[in-house]
A and B are shown apart, each in its own frame.
Chain A
Amino acid sequence: MWISIIELISFVALVFYIIFGGADYGAGILEFFKPNKIRKIDSEIEHIITKAIGPVWEANHIWLILIIVILFNGFPELFVTLTTFLHLPLVAILLGIVLRGVAFTFRHYDIFEGRPKTLYTRIFSFSSLWTSLWLGITAGAVILGRIDPTAKNVYDLYIHPWFNIFCLSVGIFVASLFTYLASSFLIGETDNQLIKNYFRQRSLIANIAVILTGGAVFFTAQYEGFFLMSKFFYNSFSIAMMILATIFWSCQEIYRKRLTFLMRRVLVVGQVTFILLGFCFIQAPTVISTTTGPLTMTNTAAPEATLIQLVVALVVGLFLIIPSLIYLFWIFKFRQDDSKI
Chain B
Amino acid sequence: MEFFTNDLLAARRTMAFSLGFHIIFASIGMVMPFFMAASHYLYLKTNNIVYLKLTKMWSKGVAILFATGAVTGTVLSFELGLLWPEFMKHAGPIFGMPFSWEGTAFFLEAIAIGIFFYGWNRIPKWVHWFSGLMVGVSGLLSGIFIVAANSWMNTPSGFDWVNGKAINIDPVAAMFNKHWFQQALHMSLAAFVSVGFAVGGIHAYFYLKNKKTVLNAKALKIALTFGAIAAILQPLSGHLSAQKVAENQPLKLAAMEAHFKTEKRASLIIGGIPNLEKQEVEHAIKIPGALSFLAFNSFDAEVVGLDQFPKDEWPPVLIVHVAFQIMVALGSMLILVGGIFLFYSYRKNWKPLPVWLLRTLIAFIPAGFIALEAGWTVTEVGRQPWIIYNIMKTKDAVSTVPGLGFHFLFFVILYIIVGSACVYLLYRLIKSYQGDINVD
Q: Do A and B bind each other?
A: yes
Q: How far is the CB of A167 from chain B (nearest CB, A)?
A: 19
Residues of A within 8 A of B356 (CB): none
Report if B48 contacts A (CB, 8 A).
no
Closest A residue to B399 by CB, please name it. Answer: A84
Residues of B within 8 A of A65 (CB): 73-74, 77, 103, 106
Q: Is the interface of B mostly helix, strand, loop or mixed?
A: helix
Residues of A within 8 A of B400 (CB): 84
Report if A211 contacts B (CB, 8 A).
no
Interface residues on A, range: 35 or more
Contact B428 A110 (CB under 8 A): yes
Please report which residues of chain B, range 199-214, place their CB below 8 angstroms from some CB of chain A when the two chains form the complex: none
Contact B104 A321 (CB under 8 A): yes
Contact A73 B70 (CB under 8 A): no
Report if B401 contacts A (CB, 8 A).
yes
Report if B432 contacts A (CB, 8 A).
yes
Contact of B67 among A58, A66, A324 (CB under 8 A): A58
Please report which residues of chain A, range 32-83, place their CB below 8 angstroms from some CB of chain B when the two chains form the complex: 54-56, 58-59, 61-62, 64-66, 68-70, 72-74, 76-77, 79-80, 82-83
Segment among A98-106, A179-187, A214-222, A255-263 that sits at the interface with chain B: A98-106
Closest B residue to A72 by CB, please name it. Answer: B92
Q: Mark A304-341, 1 if CB is under 8 A from B, else 0.
A: 01100110011011001100110110011001001101
Contact B114 A328 (CB under 8 A): yes
Report if A302 contacts B (CB, 8 A).
yes
Q: Mark A149-167, 1 if CB is under 8 A from B, else 0.
A: 0000010001000000000
Q: Mark B424-435, 1 if CB is under 8 A from A, else 0.
A: 010011001000
Report if B108 contacts A (CB, 8 A).
yes
| Complex alpha-carbon distance, A324 and B130, angstroms | 13
Report if B111 contacts A (CB, 8 A).
yes
Q: Mark B57-83, 1 if CB is under 8 A from A, else 0.
A: 000100110111011111101101110
Contact A332 B118 (CB under 8 A): yes
Please report which residues of chain B, range 150-189, place their CB below 8 angstroms from some CB of chain A when the two chains form the complex: 167, 169-172
Report if B385 contacts A (CB, 8 A).
no
Report if B336 contacts A (CB, 8 A).
no
Contact A309 B114 (CB under 8 A): no
Contact A102 B421 (CB under 8 A): yes
| Complex alpha-carbon distance, A263 and B74, angstroms | 34
Contact B115 A331 (CB under 8 A): yes
Contact B114 A59 (CB under 8 A): yes
Report if B99 contacts A (CB, 8 A).
yes
Q: How far is the CB of A119 from chain B (nearest CB, A)?
A: 10
Contact B64 A106 (CB under 8 A): yes
Given contact pairs A79-B81, A87-B82, A154-B402, A66 touches B111 in the complex (Cβ within 8 A): no
Report if A109 contacts B (CB, 8 A).
yes
Q: Mark A132-174, 1 if CB is under 8 A from B, else 0.
A: 0000000000000000000000100010000000000000000
Report if A94 contacts B (CB, 8 A).
yes
Number of A-B contacts (CB under 8 A): 206
Contact of A111 among B81, B94, B429 (CB under 8 A): B429
Residues of B within 8 A of A64 (CB): 74
Residues of B within 8 A of A74 (CB): 93, 96
Contact A314 B100 (CB under 8 A): yes
Residues of A within 8 A of B89 (CB): 76-77, 80
Please report which residues of chain B, range 281-328, place their CB below 8 angstroms from some CB of chain A when the two chains form the complex: none
Contact A97 B71 (CB under 8 A): yes
Given contact pairs A72-B81, A317-B107, A302 touches B93 in the complex (Cβ within 8 A): yes
Q: How far is the CB of B36 from chain A (nearest CB, A)?
A: 15
Closest B residue to A56 by CB, please name it. Answer: B114
Contact A72 B99 (CB under 8 A): yes
Q: Is the interface of A mostly helix, strand, loop or mixed?
A: helix
Given contact pairs A84-B85, A339-B121, A66 touches B103 in the complex (Cβ within 8 A): yes
Residues of A within 8 A of B86 (CB): 80
Contact A313 B108 (CB under 8 A): no
Residues of A within 8 A of B71 (CB): 97-98, 101-102
Residues of B within 8 A of A332 (CB): 114, 118
Residues of A within 8 A of B170 (CB): 305
Given contact pairs A74-B96, A110-B425, A302-B93, A83 touches B78 in the complex (Cβ within 8 A): yes
Contact B171 A105 (CB under 8 A): no
Report if A91 contacts B (CB, 8 A).
yes
Given contact pairs A91-B407, A101-B70, A84 touches B115 in the complex (Cβ within 8 A): no
| Complex alpha-carbon distance, A102 and B107, angstroms | 19
Residues of A within 8 A of B169 (CB): 302-303, 305-306
Given contact pairs A72-B81, A306-B94, A109 touches B122 in the complex (Cβ within 8 A): no
Q: How far is the CB of A325 from chain B (nearest CB, A)?
A: 6
Contact A55 B117 (CB under 8 A): yes
Q: Which of B107, B170, B401, B432 has the most CB of A within 10 A?
A: B107
- Can you list 28 A-B pairs with a CB-CB distance of less than 8 A? A54-B114, A55-B117, A55-B118, A65-B73, A65-B74, A65-B103, A66-B103, A72-B96, A76-B88, A76-B89, A79-B81, A80-B85, A83-B85, A102-B68, A105-B63, A109-B425, A111-B432, A112-B428, A302-B93, A302-B169, A303-B93, A305-B171, A306-B169, A313-B103, A320-B104, A320-B107, A331-B115, A331-B122
Top 6 nearest A-B pairs by Cβ distance? Answer: A73-B96, A83-B81, A302-B93, A317-B104, A76-B92, A105-B67
Residues of B near any A CB (own CB < 8 A) = 60, 63-64, 66-68, 70-75, 77-78, 80-82, 85-86, 88-90, 92-94, 96-97, 99-104, 106-108, 110-115, 117-123, 167, 169-172, 399-402, 407, 410, 414, 418, 421-422, 425, 428-429, 432
Residues of A near any B CB (own CB < 8 A) = 54-56, 58-59, 61-62, 64-66, 68-70, 72-74, 76-77, 79-80, 82-84, 87, 90-91, 94-95, 97-99, 101-102, 104-106, 108-112, 154, 158, 302-303, 305-306, 309-310, 313-314, 316-317, 320-321, 324-325, 327-328, 331-332, 335, 338-339, 341
